[in-house]
A and B are shown apart, each in its own frame.
Chain A
Amino acid sequence: MAQHIVIIGNGVAGITAARFVRKLSTNRITVVSSETDHFYARTALMYIYMGHMRYRETKPYEDHFWAHNKIDLVRGYATQIDTQNKIVRIADGVDIAYDALLLATGSKSNQFGWPGQDLPGVQGLYGMQDLALMERNTRGISRGVVVGGGLIGIEMAEMLHARHIPVTFLVREKSYMDYLLPEEESALINDEIVAHGIDLRLGTELKSIIGQDRASAVETNLGGRIDCQFVGLTAGVHPNIDIARASGINTNKGILVNEFFETNVQDVYAAGDCAEFNADDIGSRRVEQLWYTGRAHGKTVAYTLCGHRTPYRRGVFFNSAKFFTIEYQTYGEVPAQPGPHIRSQLFRQGRTLLRVNSDRKTGRVLGFNTMGLRIRQDQCEAWIRGGTPVEQVLKSLAKVRFDSEFQSRKIYHQAAVSSN
């Protein structure tokens, strides 16, 4: 019998779940969102502000897609779940009854109780409303300060820079993202940030934000004062668990789920940024907040929602980013500080970098980092899964590069030569 599956949140996790439920069943599907009428790519928020795209270009599916595939969209804010009667309450809206409910409510920007963090002109960047606010907050200003050396931080710095707004970028770490990136990769990004004219302050923390009726300066832990009219707080995100907490669903940092994305309440599931795995059997990362993991969560939970209980299994880790003009791809095991069991081989050529990690004892390949290069994911995965000897990998890299045609192959030749 067809069920009514209600999904709260139209981000990549919720929408991927909806799409796969539709592929797998004739169940009735309703997606509730307070953010936008239609699914858009959150990853493209920066490009809207920079003028590369408009909101409509960031929508991966045309508006008629949803009706055509019988996925109902409701614009509204879900406040609470009556788990007894299986009803979702919508603020200023009609309650929605469900047979199965998926919470895919995403994240919220972190704030760490900084003095002045609630002043006008101070904000994070996560959703469309934040972008609209940033548009207003940055109009006609003479300097913005971005606090927090993560991906959103560097994106915000690039956004302001694209609008010709001088930027000071406060990064707590000694080097940009050195908690994830090995030293050389991190140094390359530092240079890239400075090359774009950003006032990069490494090893610097925000102490307080000063201002009367809006932010007018920040003070740092080093005693410096920076005049500005805008402060971007980008020190990470945390799961948005408001609705779960208000409805008696178990939470910790995130909404607690098992490997089937089941919460402690019958027929209520959570996936994407907002979920937290309640056991370590899924691996060490209990909260996953990547685009790719949101997509994988959504796809997996769809099978369970359609009556085919399917556990979440991680594959070989992968991720990518673009830091100003430098593209970054990573596959497998590439820690910032390689342990003693890892042999890390680094190749450099101009502004490009290639790192190949292998097991010091067995010589099997473990992971890859690239900067300014593109390499094939399927091939890297196959090598890592198969435990291919690193010499063989280094010799073959040129054949499986994913760079544009005619791009330089020097760095791959360098890698191949080193394996002899």
Chain B
Amino acid sequence: MEYHASLQLTTPGSRYSARQKAGLALIGVGVLALLVMLVGNGALNPALTMGVGISGFLLGSGLLFADLLQQPPGVNNNGVWFSGATARGMAGWIMGIVFTGFYIILYWAPSNLEQLVRGTDALSIALRGRPADQWFLYGLFYTLAILIMGARMLIKYRDNRYQILRTISVMFFQLGLAFIIPSLLLLLNEPEFYFSYFWPLKYDYLWPSTFSSLTQGPGLGIFLLFWTAVMTFVATPVLTYFYGKRWYCSWVCGCGGLAETAGDPFRHLSDKSTKAWKVERWMVHSVLVFVVVTTLTLWINSWTGGGILGGLSQEFSRLYGFFIGLIFAGVIGVGFYPIMGSRVWCRFGCPMAAILGLLQKYLSRFRITTNGGQCISCGNCSTYCEMGIDVRWYAQRGQNIVRASCVGCGMCATVCPRGVLRLENGSMKARYNGPVLIHHNDVSVQLDEAWQRERPLMPSVQEDLPILTDKDLGSPPVL
């Protein structure tokens, strides 16, 4: 039976306070200012109009979030599945089209954004010593989105220190390492370098072209190469061993930062089916193979002076940049937030996530542990997992969750109404604990061995639902 009642309606009885109305009005003014810049004839002062637009968003959001502060702290996902914006209703689809369309224009018809770009000239000259281009505009919008929606996260989860620290972290890394420092590097005539992105997410950082440009140029080039190599080959496996892939995906990464802040209202839209899991594993590892092969062919080509694989390597890198770098990571990755959830790229496409995932699964202390038999199978954990992990499947069996895709956002533990889930970096020993449910001993499984041996068990069933033995149980750890 599907439950139809009141879907897609506004929450019955919901009312907007005066402050919320004022906030919405200011956001409306902000949208209008940006719209005028997009389609107007440029008669208005671009810097001023951009200033009005951004201020509208900042102040308007501030007023809306101030209202959240009036509510008692604690998890509040009321009406998430009733609102058209967050439940693939009309507003959701419109947003999906607008976001996707914005990326298409940004990549393939940026001249249409001319007035918007001019509106950021003043800031660009101040920061970078040169006029803006569409990438500066994009970086500015991206950073503002993380900061504004990050503020919303800080209020929404204000009684959970893990969520607070994690959100401050992604806001810091975006603003500092992915916006201000690259701009200042340009100002100082150094290469525009992003210290928070590594190969293979930033795929060209290990390509021969980057090496040659960094080694030939003056200044910081050699240091930047050193940074890339150390982060990719040393820091990544070491940090992942101790903390899991979350050290990057939900604390540092810019894509993750946007997903965790601007994407938070859409996190429940990820597909939780085992079918989606299967598709995910094929896709994300295929992209990993693609980027490794591309990188290798480029290097072979470079070492052989273009003798072998010359045309092929160029073709590979062109295809990778177009399909993965632009279409997948950009257009689909963010454009589809309101339709497929906030982590479409991270889950199905990101090769960095694939590497971190393999490390997390086989060479890491990170796991999500479950608290005995306290799970009530309600499904909040699975629903709010942005990576589409069916967390409940494990929790209700009392089994630790060790999954390659988990980015460690901690939301499953945050929304759990019974205190069942906890992110931990314990010893590797008891990491895979098998399904253990407290009170198993009480149900008395002293089955005689002969009975167990002769037990007629259907193979497919055994695979799905492993029989618990006393060996699985172990004894409860006692200090």
Does A341 reach chain B (CB closer than 8 Å)? no
The docked-state distance in angstroms from the alpha carbon of A36 to that of B456 is 31
**Does B74 lie within 8 Å of A23, measured CB to CB?**
no
B409-443 CB mask vs A (1 if < 8 Å, else 0) is 01001100111001100000000000000110111
The docked-state distance in angstroms from the alpha carbon of A291 to that of B396 is 12
**Does A299 lie within 8 Å of B79, measured CB to CB?**
no
A312-354 CB mask vs B (1 if < 8 Å, else 0) is 1111001011101111010000000000000000000000000
Does A26 reach chain B (CB closer than 8 Å)? yes
A325 closest partner in B (C-beta) = B74
**List of B residues within 8 angstroms of A399 by Cβ:** 479
The docked-state distance in angstroms from the alpha carbon of A318 to that of B414 is 21
The docked-state distance in angstroms from the alpha carbon of A299 to that of B80 is 35
Does A44 reach chain B (CB closer than 8 Å)? yes
> Which residues of B, 395-411, contact A by the 8 Å Cβ criterion?
396, 410
**List of A residues within 8 angstroms of B464 by Cβ:** 68-69
B440 closest partner in A (C-beta) = A299
**Does B443 lie within 8 Å of A23, measured CB to CB?**
no
**Does A381 lie within 8 Å of B383, measured CB to CB?**
no
Does A311 reach chain B (CB closer than 8 Å)? yes
Stretch of B131-139, B144-152, B341-349, B374-382 contacting A (4+ beta carbons < 8 Å): B374-382
Stretch of B59-67, B114-122, B158-166, B317-325 contacting A (4+ beta carbons < 8 Å): B158-166
Q: Is the interface of A mostly helix, strand, loop or mixed?
A: mixed
> Which residues of A, 164-189, contact B by the 8 Å Cβ criterion?
164-165
Given contacts A313-B444, A378-B372, contact A58 B11 (CB under 8 A): no
Does A374 reach chain B (CB closer than 8 Å)? yes
Stretch of B1-9, B189-197, B210-218 contacting A (4+ beta carbons < 8 Å): B1-9
> Which residues of A, 3-62, contact B by the 8 Å Cβ criterion?
12, 19, 22-26, 36-37, 41, 43-44, 47-48, 50-60, 62
- Residue from A53, A55, A308, A404 within 8 A of B2 (CB atoms): A55
The docked-state distance in angstroms from the alpha carbon of A404 to that of B75 is 14
**Does A47 lie within 8 Å of B380, measured CB to CB?**
yes
**Does A291 lie within 8 Å of B161, measured CB to CB?**
no
Q: Which of B274, B422, B455, B461 has the most CB of A within 10 A?
A: B461
Does B109 reach chain A (CB closer than 8 Å)? no
Does B42 reach chain A (CB closer than 8 Å)? no
A113-142 CB mask vs B (1 if < 8 Å, else 0) is 000000000000000100110011011100
- Residue from A54, A163, A318, A400 within 8 A of B479 (CB atoms): A400
> Which residues of A, 134-165, contact B by the 8 Å Cβ criterion?
135-136, 138-140, 162-165
- Residue from B72, B382, B413 within 8 A of A404 (CB atoms): B413
B478 closest partner in A (C-beta) = A382
**List of B residues within 8 angstroms of A24 by Cβ:** 455, 457, 467
The docked-state distance in angstroms from the alpha carbon of A54 to that of B87 is 10
**Does B419 lie within 8 Å of A195, measured CB to CB?**
no
**List of B residues within 8 angstroms of A410 by Cβ:** none
- Residue from A48, A60, A163, A320 within 8 A of B418 (CB atoms): A320
**Does B376 lie within 8 Å of A314, measured CB to CB?**
no
**Does A386 lie within 8 Å of B478, measured CB to CB?**
yes
**Does A376 lie within 8 Å of B371, measured CB to CB?**
yes
Does B41 reach chain A (CB closer than 8 Å)? no
Does A303 reach chain B (CB closer than 8 Å)? yes
A56-82 CB mask vs B (1 if < 8 Å, else 0) is 111110100000111000000000000
**Does B372 lie within 8 Å of A315, measured CB to CB?**
no
**Does B458 lie within 8 Å of A26, measured CB to CB?**
yes
B7 closest partner in A (C-beta) = A54
The docked-state distance in angstroms from the alpha carbon of A402 to that of B274 is 29
**Does B438 lie within 8 Å of A378, measured CB to CB?**
yes
> Which residues of A, 366-384, contact B by the 8 Å Cβ criterion?
373-374, 376-379, 381-383
Does A85 reach chain B (CB closer than 8 Å)? no
**Does A41 lie within 8 Å of B376, measured CB to CB?**
yes
The docked-state distance in angstroms from the alpha carbon of A128 to that of B478 is 42
**Does A69 lie within 8 Å of B11, measured CB to CB?**
no
B449-468 CB mask vs A (1 if < 8 Å, else 0) is 00100011110111011010
Does B476 reach chain A (CB closer than 8 Å)? yes
**List of A residues within 8 angstroms of B373 by Cβ:** 292, 295, 318, 377
Given contacts A47-B378, A55-B1, A402-B419, contact A62 B476 (CB under 8 A): no
> Which residues of B, 1-44, contact A by the 8 Å Cβ criterion?
1-3, 5-7, 11-15
Does B156 reach chain A (CB closer than 8 Å)? no
**Does A195 lie within 8 Å of B72, measured CB to CB?**
yes
The docked-state distance in angstroms from the alpha carbon of A374 to that of B372 is 12
- Residue from A23, A57, A376 within 8 A of B372 (CB atoms): A376
The docked-state distance in angstroms from the alpha carbon of A68 to that of B14 is 43
- Residue from A52, A313, A376, A405 within 8 A of B423 (CB atoms): A405
Does A212 reach chain B (CB closer than 8 Å)? no
Does A310 reach chain B (CB closer than 8 Å)? yes
**Does A324 lie within 8 Å of B476, measured CB to CB?**
no
**List of B residues within 8 angstroms of A311 by Cβ:** 444
**Does B1 lie within 8 Å of A51, measured CB to CB?**
no
- Write the nearest CB–CB distance from B76 to chain A, whole angstroms: 8
Does B73 reach chain A (CB closer than 8 Å)? yes
Size class of the contact patch on chain B:
35 or more
- Residue from B6, B78, B419, B476 within 8 A of A162 (CB atoms): B78
- Residue from B15, B419, B460 within 8 A of A164 (CB atoms): B15
Does B279 reach chain A (CB closer than 8 Å)? no
**Does A54 lie within 8 Å of B478, measured CB to CB?**
no
**Does A132 lie within 8 Å of B3, measured CB to CB?**
yes
**Does A54 lie within 8 Å of B81, measured CB to CB?**
yes
- Write the nearest CB–CB distance from B73 to chain A, whole angstroms: 7
**Does B380 lie within 8 Å of A52, measured CB to CB?**
yes
The docked-state distance in angstroms from the alpha carbon of A58 to that of B81 is 13
Does B245 reach chain A (CB closer than 8 Å)? no
Given contacts A44-B378, A57-B379, A310-B443, contact A381 B372 (CB under 8 A): yes
Does A196 reach chain B (CB closer than 8 Å)? yes
**List of B residues within 8 angstroms of A58 by Cβ:** 378-379
- Residue from A48, A139, A320 within 8 A of B12 (CB atoms): A139
**List of A residues within 8 angstroms of B476 by Cβ:** 378-379, 381-382
**List of A residues within 8 angstroms of B6 by Cβ:** 135, 139
The docked-state distance in angstroms from the alpha carbon of A292 to that of B398 is 13
Does B209 reach chain A (CB closer than 8 Å)? no
The docked-state distance in angstroms from the alpha carbon of A175 to that of B217 is 75
- Residue from B1, B7, B162, B447 within 8 A of A37 (CB atoms): B1
**Does A60 lie within 8 Å of B444, measured CB to CB?**
no
**Does B422 lie within 8 Å of A374, measured CB to CB?**
yes
- Residue from A300, A308, A327 within 8 A of B419 (CB atoms): A327
B6 closest partner in A (C-beta) = A135
Does B365 reach chain A (CB closer than 8 Å)? no
**List of A residues within 8 angstroms of B83 by Cβ:** 51
**Does B78 lie within 8 Å of A25, measured CB to CB?**
no
A290 closest partner in B (C-beta) = B376
**List of B residues within 8 angstroms of A374 by Cβ:** 371, 419, 422
Does B307 reach chain A (CB closer than 8 Å)? no
Does A407 reach chain B (CB closer than 8 Å)? yes
Does B77 reach chain A (CB closer than 8 Å)? yes
A75 closest partner in B (C-beta) = B1
**Does B377 lie within 8 Å of A329, measured CB to CB?**
no
Q: 8 A-B residue contacts at CB 8 Å? A: A51-B82, A52-B80, A56-B2, A135-B6, A139-B12, A299-B443, A310-B443, A377-B371
Besides A23-B457, A43-B376, A399-B479, 7 new A-B residue pairs in contact (Cβ under 8 A), listed by A number: A12-B377, A48-B3, A51-B11, A163-B14, A292-B439, A303-B444, A407-B160
Residues of B within 8 A of A (CB): 1-3, 5-7, 11-15, 72-75, 77-83, 159-162, 165, 273-274, 371-374, 376-380, 382-383, 392-393, 396, 410, 413-414, 417-419, 422-423, 438-439, 441-445, 447, 451, 455-458, 460-462, 464-465, 467, 476-479
Residues of A within 8 A of B (CB): 12, 19, 22-26, 36-37, 41, 43-44, 47-48, 50-60, 62, 68-70, 128, 131-132, 135-136, 138-140, 162-165, 192, 195-196, 291-292, 295-296, 299-300, 303, 308, 310-315, 318, 320-322, 324-327, 329, 373-374, 376-379, 381-383, 386, 396, 399-400, 402-408
